[in-house]
Amino acid sequence: MELSNILDLIENARLKYSAHHIVKLIAVSKYASTEQIKFLYQSGQRAFGENKVQDLRQKCEILQNLPLEWHFLGHLQNNKINALLDLKPSLFHALDSVILAQDLQKKLSAKNQILKCLLQVNISNESQKNGVSLENAGEIYCQIAESYPNIELVGIMGINQNTSDTAILNRNFSAAKKLFDSLKNAKILSLGMSNDFELAIANGANLLRIGSKIFD
């Protein structure tokens, strides 16, 4: 779908939720070539997301002359931390365990760097998904915020179930919103992908990560 059509859908959903609500779109470019990214840039899109460190590095390098904002969305292995930090992503969405926070803190402090992060929460409670459980998320969020000074926690990220059942999708999104509202200083609620972004907005999401709907 054309970017402008997606922006129209986002705008309609946003106005239905609240005229005061601000929603930001990340174009998830993991399926896209640098030519496609450039084309989107020319249509006004600035924020892009990748889920592999190697792909992010390549695309950053090729597109280094464009003022793009890069988000990292994927699970981060311990041995890729330094490589990711050197790329200075604007936001890391997938902080999914206390152990990863510990490892990140060590490497961030050695590099004298701060990283903005979202705590990834397993909002659909599926065993194959990464993220801390909804149940433990509040406590872990506070623990990370208090214990790791080089990690700047700014909110949470969730991936909903791959289903068209809107009752299930709504249940999981509204649980995420409830958690978000309970967190001190959380500003970003990153929910919503190609197939569920309108429902995500209806549940208060303010950051969307849309890939296939933009690039297919």
Ligand X SMILES: *Cc1c(COP(=O)(O)O)cnc(C)c1O
Binding residues for ligand X, per CB under 6 A?
Answer: 28, 30, 51, 73, 159, 193-194, 209-213
Query: Taking the complex as a whole, how short is the minimal distance between the CB of residue 86 and ligand X, in angstroms?
Result: 21
Smaller CB distance to ligand X: residue 73 or 144?
Answer: 73
Q: Which is nearer to ligand X, 53 or 73 (by Cβ)?
A: 73
What minimum distance in Å lies between the beta carbon of 109 and ligand X?
Answer: 27
The residue at minimum Cβ distance from ligand X is 211
| Residue 51 or 151 having the CB closest to ligand X | 51
- Name the residue among 71, 132, 72 with its Cα closest to residue 96: 132
d(CA 214, CA 216): 6
Q: What one-letter code names the amino acid at 127?
A: S
CB of 119 to ligand X, least distance (A): 13
**Complex with ligand X: residue 161 or 212, whichever CB lies closer:** 212
In the complex, minimum distance from the CB of residue 190 to ligand X, in angstroms, rounded to a whole number: 8
Q: Report DSSP letters for 102-131, one per residue.
A: HHHHHHHHHHT--EEEEEEEETT--TTS-S
Structure tokens at 8: 């129209």
At 160, list the tokens: 């909903």
Integer-rounded Cα Rg, in Å, for the chain is 17
